[in-house]
Amino acid sequence: MARFDTLIGEFDKALRVIAGVATASRANPGVGEPDHFLADADKRHSAGLMRVNHVGEVCAQALYDAQGRFTKNDALKQQFKQAGREEEDHLAWTAERLQQLGSRPSLLNPLWYAGAYALGAVAARLGDARSLGFVVETERQVEAHLASHLTQLPVQDGKSRAIVEQMRLDEIEHGAKAHAMGATDTPPLVQKAMQAMAKVMTTTAYYL
């Protein structure tokens, strides 16, 4: 019965993540930034980039949920839970910014979530050290991706830029914690495969 309740809870969370329903525990970093006028083209570009970032947070929820679900290490379960909670802040912030920009989340969120959950489950099955290594590499690539967005976002879009910068700092911290807990290096071939999958996701999510 307890296992059934857990499955129901996980399914409910997945539905909320896919639907973009999230509650932040920290204030949105963009709140204090002035709301400068954005030309239509800049607004569409900002929305496309923030939709990509929102998809990344949908995937982060799925990855951490799966890795926490399948590890038997209680300390690791707690770390995945804490990191996932901080990533939920990102999910809420990006969803809020998309709404402010008059846009919407990706139409393919169910696909992104399912794919990321499967990857997280596979990583967890490979053992804790490799699972943590997957986190380190994921966060390294995400941090680089967010840094590139800081160069692409319109200069006057301070709200989006503040959100992305805080997300970038959080991802660095998550990767560092995973490394300190005993992560092993992810093989170069796997790194390349992760980059290729991320490229497909970011290119598609910008529009859809």
pLDDT at 12 over 70: no
Residue 183: the pLDDT is: 93
Domain-located, residue 34: no
Domain-located, residue 184: yes
Rounded to an integer, the average pLDDT of 125-133 is 93
Measured over the CA atoms of residue 87, residue 61, residue 7 and residue 127, the dihedral's sign is negative
Residue 8: the pLDDT is: 60
Domain-located, residue 27: no
pLDDT at 67 over 70: yes
Domain-located, residue 12: no
CATH number for 137:
1.20.1260.10
Boundaries of domain holding 163: 41-207
Mean pLDDT of the chain: 90
Domain-located, residue 15: no
What tens digit of pLDDT does each residue of 183-197 get? Answer: 999 999 989 998 999
What tens digit of pLDDT does each residue of 15-31 get? Answer: 677 776 778 889 999 99
Domain-located, residue 137: yes
User: What pTM was estimated for this model as a whole?
Assistant: 0.91
Residue 55: the pLDDT is: 95
Assess contact for 195 and 141: CB atoms under 8 A: yes
CA distance 183 to 130: 6
Number of domains in the chain: 1
